[in-house]
Structure 1
Amino acid sequence: MLVGHRAVPNWPGRVGSLVEAFLPWAGVVVLVLLGVALVRRSVVALVALLLPVAAWTYLFGGLLLPGAAAGPRDLVVVQHNVSDENVDPAGTARALTDTGADLIGLQELVPDALPVYRKVLAPDYPYHAVRGTVGLWSRYPLTEAGLVDIKPREITEPWSRGMRAVVEAPRGEVAAYVAHLPSVRVRASGFASSRRDESARLLGEAIAAEKTEKVVLLGDFNGPVEDRGLAPLTSRMNVAERGFGFSFPAALPLTRIDHVMARSMAVTRIRTLPATGSDHLPVLATLSAR
């Protein structure tokens, strides 16, 4: 399953995407089997376990390695779904400011809380743009801020969760995208991700058409990078080279659905930050020139 997870069929019920959502945790199964083999003193079982251990290490072992030595970097960015039920937006904004990041991408910005984020973030992040419920705060000037339409066809009510702006960064222009893909649900009929997948496709098409060489994408994508539903993004963008960065749910993080991806830059490391008033953990990533 580890090596051939793409071969797990997505029908019925998008079971393949469901398996991929928690694929790193297959390592726990391997550890349990290792314990049983040791208790039973089974040499055959220990030898057999070498294959799944090798497969897991090939897929995820690199995320555990220490990062490269400090060197030139393009940007430090923070991605955070602040939650539309956050009762302490001011505290959340202060915590994000304390990271010293160059860019901050936020989702679930509701009208009542938006003025608070603007006020608290303004001293350190004088440039910002908000479209719908997503926003970008920057230490550097922003231009060309606009909406990116990633609305699935089934959604008929007002819905705006994608934006793009150009950051006038010290090492050159960067096109910054902030997005919040539709939620997924596990139901009796299976893993409901069709809206999320459609939105990912639309976002991938927008990035494919992007003329600015350097691109950074921040967002809550409601799935890990292993999920085939996010292939329109992961096939075009570099993902984190180091760090698991499990961000959801904040109380017991089991998966990383909050992402920083880049084009013409490497995402050298991603890590989670302490909990805020959200049900997601913020993630911080370092981007370096290729």
Structure 2
Amino acid sequence: MRGTANRSGAGRVGKQWSWRWPWRWQGSWSGRGRVLAGLAVLLASLLVFHGAVPDTAGRPGSLLETFLPWLGLAVPVLLALALLRRSAVAACAVLLPAAAWLGLFGAFLLPGDDRTPGLLAVQHNVSDENPDPAGTARALAATRADLIALEELTPAAAPAFEAVLAPEYPYHAVEGTVGLWSKHPLAQVRPVDIRPTGVGEGWNRGLRATARTPHGEVAVYVAHLPSVRLAPTHGFGSVRRDESAALLGAAIAAERTDPLILLGDLNSTVDDRGLDPVAAQMDPPSRDFAFSWPAALPVARIDQVMTRAAAVTRIRALPATGSDHLPVAAHIRWHGPGPGSEPRQ
């Protein structure tokens, strides 16, 4: 009888312990805990060493880098699975991709620099199918930016932009389907040839101008790189864009005027290695997401404002217009006393 009572008591104690502690952790390196931990390590590796992913056929490296910030969505999923599995190993492993993502993009979550910029620039692909170019022009004029760069500017839509922007932006230049409107005089305007191989002479998507601001002269480039295509059979089709980026990078490298501002639809994010020929010539980009495409549900910023001998202290997406892109506005500050000090040697 005594032994039976002890066995019954032991059973009750065991049941009470299980009821009080239902989330007992499985710390062993086995089963799904090991799989989840392995996935967490793989995710962290992709975030930190994305440059090691080869850009072979289909350009998987560029595709990964285009949507790199979105890898962070896998972190809470892995954490939830680790909690459901009650795996301490997996839960600890999830800290690796979380730390990697915060190291890359954590600064993007901090408040932007709202100090008065030395210059405000707006970049917008206005779409060659925009049903309301005049309305788009009014929205851009309302930003009161110093510079407004446009892409996909068709001959049919150009008069509407010229008419609406003229009162506030008396200076403008257009080359092919790209244009620049400025509050400050423009000089030395010329096209920039960024045509990839096999594209005819009528394809004009680059211009260069000198903006004579109150602080001095600034070289301004406007560019629209070729679109990329994602297809199941060919992967990430970026060959023409990459070739055009190399031509644009060469033109910027040869530019002797500083500061320099590049505005354009580059069909590339700043993380994408396809933009390296351009990004290597410029100062570090602003630490902001400012997703600009597609306008209905923005997942990437392919509209860029980049600088040399100046800093983009903040970049933000603006409300939608009649385009499939969102406009982006950038605050630019000079590194030194102002532009136009000394030309590059």
TM-score range, shorter chain: over 0.9
Which of 90, 95, 106 is the aligned partner of 1:61? 106
Superposition deviation, residue 238 in structure 1: 2.3
Alignment length (residue pairs): 289
Q: Secondary structure at the match of 1:233?
A: helix
Q: Who is 2:165 aligned against?
A: 121
Write the deviation string for residues 97-134 of structure 1: whole angstroms up to 9, x where unpaired.
Answer: 00111100000000110000000000011110000000
Which of 69, 75, 97 is the aligned partner of 1:30? 75
Which of 144, 152, 167 is the aligned partner of 2:188? 144
Superposition deviation, residue 7 in structure 1: 0.5
Contact between 1:181 and 1:222, CA under 8 Å: does it hold in 2?
Answer: yes
Q: Who is 1:221 aligned against?
A: 266
- 2:242 maps to 1:202: no
Contact between 1:140 and 1:169, CA under 8 Å: does it hold in 2?
Answer: yes
Structure scoring higher RCO (CA < 8 A, sep ≥ 6) equals 1
Q: Who is 1:237 aligned against?
A: 282
Distance in 2 of aligned mates of 1:145 and 1:68: 32
After TM superposition, list the pairs within 5 Å mapping 1:78-89 onto structure 2.
78-89=122-133
Write the deviation string for residues 121-154 of structure 1: whole angstroms up to 9, x where unpaired.
Answer: 0001111000000000000000001100000012
- 2:297 maps to 1:248: no
RMSD: 1.1
Distance in 2 of aligned mates of 1:74 and 1:263: 14
Q: Who is 1:161 aligned against?
A: 205
Q: Compared with structure 1, are the counterparts of its residues 175 and 237 closer, same or farther at alpha carbon in structure 2 (3 Å cutoff)?
A: same
Identity of aligned residues (%): 62
Superposition deviation, residue 74 in structure 1: 2.1
Unaligned runs of 5+ in 2: 1-45, 336-345
Pair member with larger Rg: 2
Q: Secondary structure at the match of 2:218?
A: strand
Structure with greater strand percent: 1
- 2:313 maps to 1:268: yes
Distance in 1 of aligned mates of 2:178 and 2:252: 17
Code of the residue aligned with 1:40 in structure 2: it is R
Write the deviation string for residues 170-224 of structure 1: whole angstroms up to 9, x where unpaired.
Answer: 1211100000000000121221101000100000010001110100000001111
Code of the residue aligned with 1:205 in structure 2: it is A
Superposition deviation, residue 56 in structure 1: 0.8
Superposition deviation, residue 44 in structure 1: 1.7
Contact between 1:20 and 1:228, CA under 8 Å: does it hold in 2?
Answer: yes
Write the deviation string for residues 205-258 of structure 1: whole angstroms up to 9, x where unpaired.
Answer: 100011101000000011111110000111111243232010000000000000
- 2:214 maps to 1:170: yes
Code of the residue aligned with 2:144 in structure 1: it is G
Q: Secondary structure at the match of 1:200?
A: helix
Distance in 2 of aligned mates of 1:271 and 1:113: 25
Mean Cα deviation higher: 247-256 or 28-37? 28-37
Contact between 2:270 and 2:285, CA under 8 Å: does it hold in 1?
Answer: no
- 2:81 maps to 1:40: no
Distance in 1 of aligned mates of 2:292 and 2:303: 6
Superposition deviation, residue 67 in structure 1: 2.4
Structure with greater helix percent: 2
Write the deviation string for residues 8-47 of structure 1: whole angstroms up to 9, x where unpaired.
Answer: 0111211111111111000001121122223333322221
Which of 63, 70, 77 is the aligned partner of 2:121? 77
Unaligned runs of 5+ in 1: none
